[in-house]
Amino acid sequence: MEPILIYHNGVCSKCHGALEILQEKNIPHKVRFYVSEPFSKDELKGVLTLLQINAFDLVRTRELLFIEKFEGKQFTEEEWMDFLIENPSLIERPIVINGNKAIIARPPEKLFQIL
């Protein structure tokens, strides 16, 4: 069985919460620090497919960067993916993947839905 993959932002309390759950339950997992190791476009497309959402649905719309640069503007799916890759702080988190299932674990306990 493949370990669970958690896309983690080191400064995010929800990411830390999800990681703590995995550690406390002794669930094999890998951590991917997506800010320092950005998504490739193919990888992001794969994550969006697993989550069954489009790129805009992964955007943190309350982030100052979004408000200042993107709010109220229309972009294509490809453009949103490029913006997320270029600005990983805009990505909703944590993303947890278990095989062919994925979830945005907000709150962290939501990850139990895919265990």
Beta strand segments in the chain, E: 4-8, 29-33, 95-98, 101-104
Which of 5, 12, 31, 65 does the annotation list as catalytic?
Answer: 12
Distance CA 2, CA 37 (A): 20
Distance CA 17, CA 92 (A): 15
Distance CA 96, CA 73 (A): 29
Active site residue 15: no
Q: Which residues are catalytic?
A: 12
